[in-house]
Amino acid sequence: MKPFFITTPIYYANDEPHIGHAYTTVAADILARMERLRNREVIFSTGTDEHGAKIAEKAREAGQDPQLFVDAVAETFQGLWEKLNISLSENAFIRTTNKDHIKVVQKVLAELYQNGALYRGTYKGLYCVGCEQYKNEGDLVNGKCPDHDRVPEVMEEESYMLKMTELQSTLLEHVRSKKFHIYPSQYEKEVTSFLENQTLEDISLSRKNVTWGVPLPFDETHTTYVWADAFLNYLTVLGWSGEGKVPEAWPADIQLVGKDILRVHATIWPIMLLHLGVPLPKLLYTHGHILSAGKKMSKTLGNVISINEMLSAFGTDGTRYLLFTMGHFGDDIDITFGRLTEKYNADLANGLGNLVSRIMKLGESLPTLPIVTEAGGSRIWSEQQQPLQISKILEATMERVSSANRYMDETKPWILVKENKGKFEKVMDNLFSQLSQISLEIEPFMPDTAEKIKTALKTGKTEALFQRIQ
């Protein structure tokens, strides 16, 4: 059977990883773990996007050789994924400066050139180095790129152009029929209306003045546009040689992207694939942004919530949990450190942590531990079709925690243990199986906690799970 293939964007290696990168990557990890629990073989990839003007500029500012610069950044990303317990597949952290990746990029560009998809032309436009994209006048606010607050440069250069316009209706058809499914629907509507109302201009796929990039094999005075280089990671990570049949794991079952990079993933990427005769990904799962106190996080505003601070305060599982409960995955979510702390205390310290410790404490009075079998529990998502809705599933699971806590408050097993041994044992049986079910369902979200609960249920012993934060 075809492995289930799930990808995150590959992140720019121009700075330390931040909470937004963690958000997408943990989401992908949760989905990957769910698929494994549905007995699918899973390939789960992420990586770093290491070429282009922006990174060259950063390395220069740091007074470093670009390769050494990106080597160090890539390492920080990998370190963060370990701390967040990201279950990447083997060899599935892809770096675009990897030699094999570069070879494939060159082969693909040569193929596009040979089959006429790529042609030599000139391109004139307003280029924002922050976005590594040409901008339309309509994208600018007061003449500046609103995302980077910088005036784009006017660029006119000889360039190799990718034919976009001729495939626009084919692409629209794929989106409409959901063969190329963009999800959730608000993002699908956005793409459909864009494709219906605007002409996709042919785009420049090479750069003459950017040396930190992959040289075009048929014209070494040009390097490959960083986005074209980056998109191909989704195929090179599978070990594709760049010609002939693509590996059987392709098409990707889920490609996760933030809404900021939806447009490019819904236009340039599928059109490159159409030109190559390679099937389009099945699902482009798009999510909103994390805002801090209602605003985009920025160093100048001083409202950056650091992922490392979150990890120190809430631990790995606490952080994983909080990212998906502060709002619905898909929409923008707004957080503050104070609200994260409140939620942690309410749901994890007082909710789940307290439930486990109350049950295990009372369990000490049982003559023998109830036997809980895993086979009994099926998980909420086990029968559901893609796309799985992360926040809703987690909410339903946490509802079990509240209901088990309520059941305990109503049945008062701490009184039954003294007054009605028979009833006490029945109530404890129920609580043990509830907890077992909870441990099954939280597994993709909080894998370590799930494991600890399972061990507690088997041995009768547990450590405190989530300490209250003052």
Q: Which of 83, 103, 163, 289 binds ligand MSP (CB under 6 A)?
A: 289
Query: Is 265 noted as a catalytic residue in this protein?
Result: no
What b/e readout covers 31-42, taking b as 16+ CB neighbours within 10 angstroms?
A: bbbbbbbeeeeb
The CA distance from 292 to 345, in Å, is: 20
Count, residues near ligand MSP per rule CB under 6 A: 18
Give the side-chain half-sphere CA count within 13 A for 239: 8
Cβ(210)–Cβ(50) below 8 Å: no
Nearer to ligand MSP by Cβ, of 32 and 297: the residue is: 297
Query: Is 275 noted as a catalytic residue in this protein?
Result: no
Query: Would you state the structure tokens that stand for residue 357, as one six-digit string?
Result: 């410790």
Report the relative pairing of strands 203-204 and 153-162 from DSSP bridges: antiparallel
Indicate whether 268 belongs to the interface with ligand MSP (CB under 6 A). Answer: no
Within residues 14-33, the interface with ligand MSP by CB under 6 A covers 20-21, 23-24
Torsion of CA 239, 11, 145, 307, to 10 degrees: 160
Nearer to ligand MSP by Cβ, of 33 and 54: the residue is: 54
Query: Is 174 noted as a catalytic residue in this protein?
Result: no
Q: Which of 3, 4, 5, 11 binds ligand MSP (CB under 6 A)?
A: 11
The CA distance from 139 to 146, in Å, is: 8
The full DSSP string for 110-145 is HHHHHTTSEEEEEEEEEEETTTTEEE-GGG-BTTBB
String of contacts with ligand MSP for each residue 325-354, x by CB under 6 A: ------------------------------
Query: Is 131 noted as a catalytic residue in this protein?
Result: yes
Query: Is 148 noted as a catalytic residue in this protein?
Result: yes
Indicate whether 84 belongs to the interface with ligand MSP (CB under 6 A). Answer: no
Q: Which of 4, 5, 6, 12 binds ligand MSP (CB under 6 A)?
A: 12
Indicate whether 73 belongs to the interface with ligand MSP (CB under 6 A). Answer: no
Smallest distance from the beta carbon of 4 to ligand MSP, in angstroms?
A: 20
- Determine the residue with CB nearest ligand MSP: 20
Which window, 8-16, 84-92, 138-146, 419-427, contacts ligand MSP (CB under 6 A)?
8-16
Indicate whether 257 belongs to the interface with ligand MSP (CB under 6 A). Answer: yes
Cβ(340)–Cβ(322) below 8 Å: yes
Query: Is 2 noted as a catalytic residue in this protein?
Result: no
Within residues 416-445, the interface with ligand MSP by CB under 6 A covers none
Q: How far is CA 41 from CA 2, 246, 389, 399, 450, in A?
A: 8, 18, 20, 30, 21
Which window, 114-122, 172-180, 257-265, 342-350, contacts ligand MSP (CB under 6 A)?
257-265
| R_g of the chain, CA atoms, integer Å | 25
Catalytic residue among 83, 144, 296, 454: 296
Single-letter amino acid code for the residue at 205 = L
Smallest distance from the beta carbon of 11 to ligand MSP, in angstroms?
A: 4
Indicate whether 129 belongs to the interface with ligand MSP (CB under 6 A). Answer: no
Catalytic residue among 51, 101, 128, 222: 128
Indicate whether 270 belongs to the interface with ligand MSP (CB under 6 A). Answer: no
Indicate whether 290 belongs to the interface with ligand MSP (CB under 6 A). Answer: yes
Sheet containing strand 4-12, strands side by side: 93-95, 42-49, 4-12, 254-258, 283-287, 181-183
The CA distance from 249 to 163, in Å, is: 27
Binding footprint of ligand MSP on the chain (CB under 6 A): 9-12, 20-21, 23-24, 49, 230-231, 257-258, 260-261, 289-290, 297
- Active centre residues (catalytic): 18, 21, 128, 131, 145, 148, 296, 299
